[in-house]
């Protein structure tokens, strides 16, 4: 098996794990938390996600961490603050459901999802560095996921 085929299969597996965890968490509870502060957290996640999609543009998006042909590096909108606002949005929407509808299986799925997104994020950044000469400089001015922290 060639390195590219292996990489492709790993990427499919990473995306499958991400989607499976999200579907399990929502299917095993309600999509919204019950506690007001947790709902606010989810609303913030949805707002960040919508803002990120608007800034990225539908044509530039890809569920896989692979960079689309003809893609442009987006550094505006939420991307001027963090490099992965869509991943942050997913976590802000998912974790309140896990907290509010706690079960060991949901917490395991949340941990697996979080690790999966971090692995995906790191891989995506390696590809973006190869694709865009200015990505290294962009990395120095932004955090990955949480403004001013990580």
What is the domain extent for residue 113?
3-141
Query: pTM of this prediction?
Result: 0.91
Q: Is residue 146 part of a domain?
A: no
Which residues partner with 143 through β-bridges?
A: 82
- Asked whether residue 147 is assigned to any structural domain, the reply reads no
38 found inside a domain = yes
Give me the torsion for CA of 133, 65, 56, 54, rounded to 10°. Answer: -160
Number of domains in the chain: 1
Regions of the chain where pLDDT drops below 70? 1, 4
Residue 65: inside a domain? yes
Domain at 62, CATH number: 1.20.120.1630
The answer as to whether 148 is a domain residue is no
pLDDT at 58: 80
Q: Are 125 and 139 in contact (CB under 8 A)?
A: yes
Dist. CA 150–CA 143, nearest whole Å: 5
Say how far apart CA 144 and CA 123 lie, in whole Å: 12
Amino acid 12: pLDDT: 87
Distance of alpha carbon 134 from alpha carbon 140, whole angstroms: 10
Query: What integer pLDDT is reported at residue 71 of this predicted model?
Result: 82
pLDDT confidence of residue 1 = 65
Structural domain contains residue 93: yes
Q: Tell me the three-class secondary structure of the chain, residue by residue.
A: CCHHHHHHHHHHHHHHHHHHHHHHHHHCCCCCCCCHHHHHHHHHHHHHHHHHHHHHCHHHCCCCCCCCCCCCCCCCHHHHCECCHHHHHHHHHHHHHHHHCCCHHHHHHHHHHHHHHHHHHHHHHHHHHHHCCCHHHHHHHCECCCCCCC
Q: What is the pLDDT of residue 69?
A: 79
- Encode pLDDT of 94-136 as tens digits: 999 999 999 999 999 999 999 999 999 998 999 899 999 999 9
Look at residue 81 and tell me if it is in a domain.
yes
Asked, for residue 13, whether it belongs to a domain, the answer is yes
């Amino acid at each position: 098996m060639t390195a590219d085929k292996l990489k492709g299969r790993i990427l499919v597996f990473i995306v499958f794990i991400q989607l499976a965890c999200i579907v399990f968490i929502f299917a095993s509870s309600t999509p919204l938390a019950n506690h007001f502060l947790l709902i606010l957290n989810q609303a913030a996640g949805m707002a960040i996600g919508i803002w990120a999609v608007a800034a990225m543009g539908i044509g530039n998006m890809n569920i896989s961490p692979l960079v689309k042909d003809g893609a442009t590096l987006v550094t505006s909108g939420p991307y001027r603050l963090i490099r992965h606002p869509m991943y942050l949005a997913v976590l802000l929407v998912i974790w309140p459901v896990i907290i509010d509808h706690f079960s060991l299986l949901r917490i395991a799925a949340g941990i697996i999802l979080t690790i999966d997104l971090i692995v995906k994020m790191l891989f995506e950044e390696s590809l973006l560095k190869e694709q865009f000469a200015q990505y290294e400089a962009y990395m120095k001015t932004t955090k990955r996921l949480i403004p001013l922290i990580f």
